[in-house]
Structure formats: structure tokens, C-alpha cells
């Protein structure tokens, strides 16, 4: 087992990883930018190293600074969290060259799955159902038209190098195609430095359902059920739950087993998520995330497993402790992502947090690095905490969520807590009757 892990991240996820390390008896090193000197993960870690100025590219994304921090502190492994360098194959490779273990899959697996076209090709070859679309990138509008004719409209044009819901454009018919392709290409070029795009059938009322997997890199892998992440704003998840209100036990194990088998074939190491759109009983692969997800606690609640500890264990070379039949699912869990944003306009609201009071009690978990007097810096993601609630049934979970939200106090900055309170009064949410467009429509309908 590792002796000292450097956590190459900040905020709630740095704290989450730190907690797992501490329970495993592993020393922790926090890294931070100058803007994060007062952050909770820095206060709680055994050691900390300042790795640069506020801009992420000069600190949390600076590979030389992080490698130096490992060498100075003698860390033998790095946990990348999510975002930042977590899906950077080069980072994993460079750490390897320095004799430091990257806690995550092999650089090859990261690379294959990070290229959306390659990922789709690989998924298809492994027997995972994919969205109908172009075989690879489309070079020009003529080729796009050909694909459009084959698969039928509407279609969605997506950036090969895409992420974070950016660089996607929908064309409802052939006359909209030319503009959609050129806009997607130029947006992709500007955002990712790579203008390549591909085309998929645009599903009109899908749910976003993803399968959590865990593998040991030695050919053993299990699935840990699904999460329904259909409630999204601008393609960003807002609320996640397990199980999906749309799936039954047979559907869950059918898709789960297929994905777990694919991960065995890939000799996948660590945790990963295979994302699908789900419509009319069919699953369509959209992408794989080769890292821990923001919404992983939902899965922890229904399986009782600590996914970060499992990640660390397999990274240290241990074989997977579980067969599929050892994984027991129970209850229902919902996560609400609390952002420092205005709940109506979604304008970011950084600044000083005057007071914080977290809800508690049975079945309530808060993952947050917030404390009273903390100043939320304006440079990073606006996620300031996650409220995760567990219940024996979905109905119990919803009541507990309502109760928890009513206890939650964050003073000094705007937060998205009021949005969740509004959602809990909606019949569709109570019934679990929503698709990936539901939230946008709700926000448009209720905009002041």
C-alpha cells in the first residue's frame, strides 16, 4: 500500500480523497494555488505545497509543479480527483516515468476513451450499443449531408475533443446543417484547439443514465449500478439519483453486465463511468469518463462501498475484492449539486461566506469544503458542496431531501439551494418523470 498520496485537486473532492486516505492510514499532501492558501483541504492535509498563482493553468494544471511537489514531499502516488489533470494521459505517463503511481487507469485507456470517436469505436467493438452516426469525424458539409440522409434528422454535431457540454449544435433538417457544422467546428477549434466534429442522431426525449464500473487492471471488473443524471442545465448535471426511476432490476443487470464484461476485456483499472442516453428501452453509449465522477457518492450510498478507497486499493496492485454477486444494492440516493450561483439567473456568486450550517441526521451526507468565514475564490468551478441523501425508498429519500434543504444555511453568497426546493414541488420530479430537456423547459417556463 502507498505511504503518502498527493491530492492534485482542490475543493470538496480534495477533501473527499483526503478522508479516504486517512481511513486507510495513508499520509496526505495537499497542493494549492495562492488563491487557496486558506482552503479546508490545505488545513486538513498532513503537508501542503503551494504550486502557483490562481489561474488553473499555472497551478492545478501545471504538470511540472505537481511532479516537483511529489518529489519534495516524497509522495508515492497521486490522486487526481475529477476535472483538472484527471483525464490527462500525458500526466499519468510523466508520473510513471518518475516512479509515481497515477491513481487511475493506464494512459492507453485514458487516451482511447478521451477521444470521443475512438471511444465510440472501442465501445462498439466491445459490444456496447452506440448512438447511430458518422463513422469517425466529418471533414466537410457534403459528408455531413450524406450522414444526415443515412441516419435521419434531427442530428447533433459534436466536437471530437469535446467536454463539459461545449461545442455541440443541433440541426433539425438539411438546411440547418451547414451553419451547425461550421459553428460547431469553429467553437471546437476555439475551445479545444481541435476543430474536428462528428455527427450523431439527436435523441429527442432521452434520459442520461450512466453505469459505474470498478476494475483492477488484471481483467476483473464489476458494475455498481446506474445513476440517472437527466436533470441538466446547459448539458451540466444538477441532480443525480440511483436508481433510475426508469429502469427495473432486469434492465439494470443486463446493461450493467454487458459493461462490466467490456471493462474486463479492456483490463480497465480503477473507477470509470460509461454514459448512455436511454430512450424507449434502448441504451446508446455517448462517452466514458476514466475517473471518479462528481456524483459518485450516490453509488456509495446504495452499495455501501467507498469508491475512493477501492480506487486506491486497486492502484496499489491489489486484486478486486468483489465478484458481481458480492455487490448488494439497497435503497435510493439523490445528490444535489450546490453551486455558488444565483438560483434564478445562475450568475456566479463568489465571495465571503459569513455563516454555514449543514443539515444532518440519518441518511444525510454533505461533501463540502466550505466553512464560516471562507472566501470562495472567483477563479474556479462554482460547485461548493454536494448534499447526498439516502432513503429506504425513493419516497423516503425525497422527504429527507426536503427536510435537509430546509435546514441548510449558507449566508453571504447566493446558492442554488432554492432551485432544489422549487424542484421538490414539481409533480414530474416527485414521480421521477423527466428527461434531459425537462430542467431547461422548467427554467424557461418559470423565468421571472
C-alpha cell at 180: 451547425
Q: Which stretch binds ligand ADP (CB under 6 A): 46-54, 163-171, 327-335, 366-374?
A: 163-171
Is 129 an interacting residue with respect to ligand ADP (CB under 6 A)?
A: no
C-alpha cell at 238: 444538477
Taking CB under 6 A as the criterion, which residues in 215-274 touch ligand ADP? 232, 235
Residue whose C-alpha cell reads 498563482 in the numeric block: 53
In the set 163, 350, 351, 377, which binds ligand ADP (CB under 6 A)?
Answer: 163
Q: Which stretch binds ligand ADP (CB under 6 A): 27-35, 59-67, 202-210, 372-380?
A: 202-210
In the set 162, 215, 331, 363, which binds ligand ADP (CB under 6 A)?
Answer: 162
Q: Which is nearer to ligand ADP, 98 or 235 (CB)?
A: 235
* Site mask for ligand ADP (CB under 6 A), range 282-301, x = bound: ----xx--------------
Distance CA 293, CA 277 (A): 17
Is 202 an interacting residue with respect to ligand ADP (CB under 6 A)?
A: yes
Per the document, the length of the chain is 448
Distance CA 434, CA 88 (A): 34
Q: Which of 68, 70, 18, 66 is nearest to 41 (CA)?
A: 18
What is the greatest pairwise CA distance in the chain? 61
Which positions are annotated as active-site residues? 291
* Rounded (10°) angle between helices 107-114 and 116-125: 100
Is 123 an interacting residue with respect to ligand ADP (CB under 6 A)?
A: no
In the set 174, 176, 265, 275, which binds ligand ADP (CB under 6 A)?
Answer: 275
In the set 436, 438, 439, 442, which binds ligand ADP (CB under 6 A)?
Answer: 436
C-alpha cell at 105: 487507469
In the set 110, 214, 246, 277, which binds ligand ADP (CB under 6 A)?
Answer: 277
Is 397 an interacting residue with respect to ligand ADP (CB under 6 A)?
A: no
Q: Which of 384, 323, 391, 381 is nearest to 15 (CA)?
A: 384
Q: Which of 38, 37, 34, 41 is nearest to 10 (CA)?
A: 41
Q: Which is nearer to ligand ADP, 15 or 113 (CB)?
A: 113
C-alpha cell at 145: 449531408
Displacement of CA 274 from its chain's centroid (Å):
11
Contacting positions for ligand ADP (CB under 6 A): 131, 156, 162-165, 200-203, 206, 208, 232, 235, 275, 277, 286-287, 436
Amino acid at each position: 500500500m502507498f505511504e503518502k498520496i498527493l491530492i492534485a485537486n482542490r475543493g470538496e473532492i480534495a477533501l473527499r480523497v483526503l478522508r479516504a486516505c486517512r481511513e486507510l492510514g495513508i499520509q496526505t499532501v495537499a497542493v494549492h494555488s495562492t488563491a487557496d492558501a486558506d482552503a479546508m483541504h490545505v488545513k486538513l492535509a498532513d503537508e501542503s505545497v503551494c504550486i502557483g498563482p490562481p489561474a488553473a493553468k499555472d497551478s492545478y494544471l501545471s504538470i511540472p509543479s505537481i511532479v516537483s511537489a511529489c518529489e519534495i514531499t516524497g509522495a508515492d502516488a497521486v490522486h487526481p480527483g475529477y476535472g483538472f489533470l484527471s483525464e490527462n494521459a500525458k500526466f499519468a505517463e510523466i508520473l510513471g516515468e518518475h516512479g509515481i503511481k497515477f491513481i487511475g487507469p493506464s494512459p492507453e485507456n485514458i487516451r482511447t476513451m478521451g477521444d470521443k470517436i475512438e471511444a465510440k469505436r472501442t465501445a462498439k467493438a466491445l459490444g456496447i450499443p452506440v448512438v447511430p452516426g458518422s463513422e469517425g469525424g466529418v471533414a466537410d458539409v457534403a459528408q455531413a449531408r450524406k450522414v444526415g440522409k443515412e441516419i435521419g434528422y434531427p442530428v447533433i454535431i459534436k466536437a471530437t475533443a469535446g467536454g463539459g457540454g461545449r461545442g455541440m449544435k443541433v440541426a433539425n433538417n438539411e438546411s440547418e446543417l451547414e451553419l451547425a457544422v461550421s459553428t460547431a467546428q469553429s467553437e471546437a477549434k476555439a475551445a479545444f484547439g481541435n476543430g474536428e466534429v462528428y455527427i450523431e442522431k439527436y435523441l429527442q426525449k432521452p434520459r442520461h443514465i450512466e453505469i459505474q464500473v470498478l476494475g483492477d487492471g488484471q481483467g476483473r471488473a464489476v458494475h455498481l449500478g446506474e445513476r440517472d443524471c437527466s436533470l441538466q442545465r446547459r448539458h451540466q448535471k444538477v441532480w443525480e439519483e440511483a436508481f433510475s426511476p426508469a429502469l427495473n432490476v432486469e434492465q439494470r443487470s443486463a446493461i450493467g453486465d454487458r459493461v462490466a464484461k467490456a471493462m474486463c476485456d479492456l483490463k480497465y483499472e480503477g473507477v470509470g463511468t460509461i454514459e448512455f442516453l436511454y430512450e424507449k428501452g434502448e441504451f446508446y453509449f455517448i462517452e466514458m469518463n476514466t475517473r471518479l465522477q462528481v456524483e459518485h457518492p450516490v453509488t456509495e450510498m446504495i452499495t455501501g462501498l467507498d469508491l475512493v478507497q477501492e480506487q486506491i486499493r486497486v492502484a496499489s496492485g491489489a486484486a478486486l475484492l468483489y465478484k458481481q454477486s458480492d455487490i448488494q444494492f439497497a435503497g435510493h440516493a439523490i445528490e444535489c449539486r450546490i453551486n455558488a450561483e444565483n438560483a434564478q439567473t445562475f450568475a456566479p456568486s463568489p465571495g465571503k461566506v459569513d455563516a454555514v450550517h449543514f443539515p444532518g441526521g440519518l441518511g444525510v451526507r454533505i461533501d463540502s469544503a466550505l466553512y464560516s468565514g471562507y472566501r470562495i475564490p472567483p477563479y474556479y468551478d462554482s460547485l461548493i458542496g454536494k448534499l447526498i441523501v439516502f432513503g429506504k425508498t425513493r419516497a423516503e429519500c425525497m422527504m429527507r431531501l426536503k427536510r435537509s434543504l430546509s435546514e441548510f444555511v449558507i449566508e453571504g453568497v447566493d446558492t442554488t439551494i432554492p432551485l432544489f426546493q422549487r424542484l421538490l414541488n414539481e409533480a414530474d420530479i416527485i414521480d421521477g418523470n423527466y428527461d434531459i430537456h425537462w430542467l431547461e423547459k422548467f427554467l424557461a417556463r418559470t423565468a421571472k
